[in-house]
Amino acid sequence: MIIYIRIFLYGIVIGSFLNVCIYRIPRQDNIVIT
């Protein structure tokens, strides 16, 4: 059961990062610094 929670949390983190990349790269903003 704990492994599913970890996979879910990793998915949230990676998905959030990819969402930021998808949003900022076409606008040529900095990915790391807001």
**The pLDDT of residue 34:** 61
pTM beyond cutoff 0.85: no
d(CA 8, CA 19) in angstroms, rounded, equals 16
Structural domain range at position 3: 1-34
Query: How many domains, the chain?
Result: 1
Question: What would the two tokens of residue 16 be?
Answer: 């959030």
Q: Are 10 and 3 contacting, i.e. CB atoms less than 8 angstroms apart?
A: no
Q: How many residues does the chain have?
A: 34
Cα 13 from chain centroid?
5
Query: pLDDT digits over 16-28, tens only?
Result: 999 988 887 777 7
pLDDT of the residue at 6: 98
Residue 9: the pLDDT is: 98
